[in-house]
Amino acid sequence: MTFLTIEGASKRYGAVAALDDVSLAVPAGSRTAIVGASGSGKTTLLRLIAGFEAPDAGRLTLDGAVLADGPAIVPAHRRGIGFVTQDGALFPHLTIAQNIGFGLERGLADRAVRIEALMRTVDLDPAMLERRPHQLSGGQQQRVALARALARQPRLMLLDEPFSALDTGLREATRKAVAAMLEAAGVTTILVTHDQTEALSFAHQVAVLSEGRLAQAGAPHELYRRPHDRRTALFLGEAVLMKGQAGVGWVDCALGRLPAGTHGHRGEVEIMLRPEQIRFTPVEEGAEQGCLARVVEVEFGGALRAVTVALISNGMKLRITGTGLELPPTGARVRLNVAGPAHVFDA
Ligand SMILES: Nc1ncnc2c1ncn2[C@@H]1O[C@H](COP(=O)(O)OP(=O)(O)OP(=O)(O)O)[C@@H](O)[C@H]1O
């Protein structure tokens, strides 16, 4: 069931169209990630949902009730929406207990009990309640910010790059913990992030914004494997792009004939493979069978490595990133095999 509906939302700042006719449906209890390059309109969309800005045009509804109809809007404090920003925005002069308590009604008899319960919800030790924000780590501060937002029992939680200040390990752990907490609380969540891996792993639905427009929205796996266009493909991860000739259910390309969902496309098309679909095995110098290539560059990066090969048939270079123990020497001859279908772009 759709919980939040955005229909045709547009917002201009002077000459800049920050959002241009964006429509998106967010199912109840789900997690949606909004991604896009810097300036693509992510924060503007979040601010429209929160009620900090009014759209110039478009309609927003939450659980069937209208939040905004063009410039006529329900004010932010009457929306029941939580908002957690990049820096957490805790009050520095208040204790952790007071920060969390800020989200609770005054005069509640069980206030202290609720604050402790919220600390546990975000997996923090209540022994920290009398500390001030600067006496907590960045990850702990983010959890307090989340606890403060959860205290208001929001129907919808908006997270604006809340993990970006954390280093990689802590970032992943915090992200997983936050996803689990929000899931357990049944709170519908929208996350804005620059980080495509974060978006793909956090969300049930990913929405890609490009210059104020919605480029594509869908399940993470669907978007990664079947992006509408090359820009979305490259935004979501590394991609091997090349020309091909499409038939019914296949494409002929520099890697040979590959299975492909050609959905009505015939003749010259642009195709995409994700690098992890391409496997290579070393072969003897005289070998002739299959799609052969020569290794021209090897980049070692710990768990991830990139091997650039040049096809023997036409010299085309492919950069194949991935994990693996094989680190073939430069100059080695390899045979390439493709796992799974090639993707044919719509555009
Ligand atoms: N208050 C404002 N006044 C004028 N222009 C604005 C304002 N807020 C946003 N913009 C412009 O609208 C566009 C979208 O901005 P927005 O902050 O939504 O992008 P973003 O995708 O969140 O970017 P980033 O990833 O860099 O935070 C940008 O061109 C920005 O300069």
pLDDT at 319 over 80: yes
Average pLDDT over residues 47-63: 95
Q: What is the residue-wise DSSP string for 284-316? A: -TT--SSEEEEEEEEEEETTEEEEEEEETTT--
pTM of this structure:
0.87
**Which region among 76-80, 249-253, 300-304 has the lowest average model confidence (pLDDT)?**
300-304
Give the pLDDT confidence of 100-158 residue by residue, as tens digits: 988 787 777 788 888 988 888 778 889 999 999 999 988 888 889 988 988 888 889 99
Q: Nearest Cα to 270, choosing from 278, 280, 262, 282? A: 262
Domain residues of the chain, as ranges? 2-230, 238-344
Q: How far apart are the first and last CA of the chain?
A: 31
CB neighbours (10 Å) of residue 165?
Answer: 15
pLDDT at 334 over 90: yes
- CATH superfamily name and code, 2-230: P-loop containing nucleotide triphosphate hydrolases (3.40.50.300)
Report the C-alpha gap between 120 and 143 in whole angstroms.
10
Q: Whose CA is nearest to atom 31 of ligand 1?
A: 39
Does the interface predicted TM-score (ipTM) exceed 0.85? Answer: yes
Segment holding 234, helix H or strand E: helix 230-236
Q: Whose CA is nearest to atom 20 of ligand 1?
A: 39
CATH class label, 238-344 = mainly beta
Pocket of ligand 1 (CB under 6 A): 13, 16, 18, 36, 38-44, 194
Question: Which structure tokens are listed for 202?
Answer: 């956090």
Query: Which of 10, 44, 87 best tests ligand 1's pocket when mutated (most atoms within 8 Å of CB)?
Result: 44
